[in-house]
Chains A and B, each alone.
Chain A
Amino acid sequence: MNGLVAQSGPVIPDFGEASDCVQQNRLFCPDWVRDNWSEVLQPALVQHIELTLIAVAVGFVIAFVLALVAHRMRWFERPVDLVSALLYTIPSLALFQLLVPITGLTVTTVEVALVSYTLLILFRNILTGLRSVPPDVLEAARGMGMSRRQILRRVELPLALPAIMAGVRIATVSTVALATVAAFVIPQGLGRPIFLALRQFFNTELIVASALAVGLALAADGLLVLLQRALTPWTRVSAGR
Chain B
Amino acid sequence: MIGDLSVFGDAVRFIGDNPSLLWHKTVEHLVLSGAAVGIALLIALPVGLVLGHLRRYSFLAISISNVGRALPTLAVIAIGVVFLPVGFTVVLISLVVLAVPPILTNAYVAVSETDSETVEAARGMGMTETQILRRVELPLATPLLFSGIRTAVVFVVASATIAAIAGGGGLGDVIVNQASYGIEGVIGASMLVCLLAFACDGLVALVQWLVTPKPLRGRRVADTTLVSEPGEAVPSR
The interface of chain A, by Cβ under 8 A from chain B, is 1-6, 27, 86, 88-95, 97-98, 100-104, 108, 120-121, 124-125, 128-129, 131-132, 162-163, 165-167, 169-170, 173-174, 176-181, 183-184, 190-191, 194-195, 197-198, 201, 203, 206-207, 209-211, 213-214, 217-218, 221, 225, 228-229, 232, 235, 239
Nearest-neighbor residue (CB-CB) of A129 within chain B: B230
Beyond the given A98-B194, A198-B81, A239-B236, please list 17 additional residue pairs across the A-B interface where CB-CB is below 8 A: A1-B173, A2-B86, A3-B176, A5-B86, A5-B166, A92-B162, A97-B186, A101-B3, A103-B2, A124-B222, A181-B73, A181-B74, A191-B74, A206-B82, A210-B78, A214-B70, A214-B72
Identify which of B1, B66, B69 contacts A104 (C-beta below 8 A): B1
Question: What DSSP secondary structure best describes chain B's contact surface?
Answer: helix
Contact A124 B71 (CB under 8 A): no
Contacts A1-B169, A198-B165, A213-B75; A128 near B230 (Cβ below 8 A)? yes
Q: Which of B5-21 contact A (CB under 8 A)?
A: 5, 7-8
With a cutoff of 8 Å between Cβ atoms, the chain B residues found around residue A235 in the complex are 233, 235-236
Contact B230 A178 (CB under 8 A): no
Residue pairs across A and B with Cβ atoms less than 8 A apart, 7 shown, are A89-B198, A98-B190, A101-B8, A163-B233, A177-B69, A201-B81, A225-B235
Nearest-neighbor residue (CB-CB) of A160 within chain B: B230
Q: Kindly list the 10 A-B residue pairs having the minimum CB-CB distance in the complex, ordered from nearest.
A: A132-B230, A3-B177, A91-B158, A217-B70, A210-B75, A239-B236, A2-B167, A94-B190, A166-B228, A177-B72
With a cutoff of 8 Å between Cβ atoms, the chain B residues found around residue A92 in the complex are 158, 161-162
The interface of chain B, by Cβ under 8 A from chain A, is 1-5, 7-8, 66-67, 69-79, 81-82, 86, 154, 157-158, 161-162, 164-169, 172-173, 175-177, 179-180, 183, 186-187, 189-191, 193-194, 197-198, 201, 222, 225-231, 233-236
A216 to B234 alpha-carbon distance, docked (Å): 20
Nearest-neighbor residue (CB-CB) of B150 within chain A: A89
* Shortest Cβ distance from residue B108 to the other chain A in the assembled complex, whole angstroms: 17
Contact B72 A89 (CB under 8 A): no
Contacts A98-B191, A210-B79; A195 near B74 (Cβ below 8 A)? yes
Identify which of B179, B190, B227 contacts A121 (C-beta below 8 A): B227
A169 to B69 alpha-carbon distance, docked (Å): 11
Contact A89 B227 (CB under 8 A): no
Contacts A163-B230, A198-B81, A198-B165; A174 near B69 (Cβ below 8 A)? yes
Contact B167 A5 (CB under 8 A): yes
A174 to B73 alpha-carbon distance, docked (Å): 11
A4 to B86 alpha-carbon distance, docked (Å): 11
With a cutoff of 8 Å between Cβ atoms, the chain B residues found around residue A207 in the complex are 78-79, 82
With a cutoff of 8 Å between Cβ atoms, the chain B residues found around residue A162 in the complex are 228, 233, 235
For B69, B157, B177, which residue has the most chain A Cβ atoms within 10 angstroms? B69
With a cutoff of 8 Å between Cβ atoms, the chain B residues found around residue A163 in the complex are 228, 230, 233
Identify which of A1, A120, A170, A213 contacts B72 (C-beta below 8 A): A213
Contact B71 A2 (CB under 8 A): no
Nearest-neighbor residue (CB-CB) of A201 within chain B: B81
With a cutoff of 8 Å between Cβ atoms, the chain B residues found around residue A27 in the complex are 82
Contact A93 B161 (CB under 8 A): yes
* Shortest Cβ distance from residue A167 to the other chain B in the assembled complex, whole angstroms: 7
A169 to B173 alpha-carbon distance, docked (Å): 33
Nearest-neighbor residue (CB-CB) of B1 within chain A: A103
A239 to B67 alpha-carbon distance, docked (Å): 22
Contact A91 B197 (CB under 8 A): yes
Contact A132 B231 (CB under 8 A): yes
* Shortest Cβ distance from residue A161 to the other chain B in the assembled complex, whole angstroms: 10
With a cutoff of 8 Å between Cβ atoms, the chain A residues found around residue B226 in the complex are 120-121, 124, 170
Contacts A90-B197, A195-B74, A214-B71; A2 near B161 (Cβ below 8 A)? no
* Shortest Cβ distance from residue B174 to the other chain A in the assembled complex, whole angstroms: 8
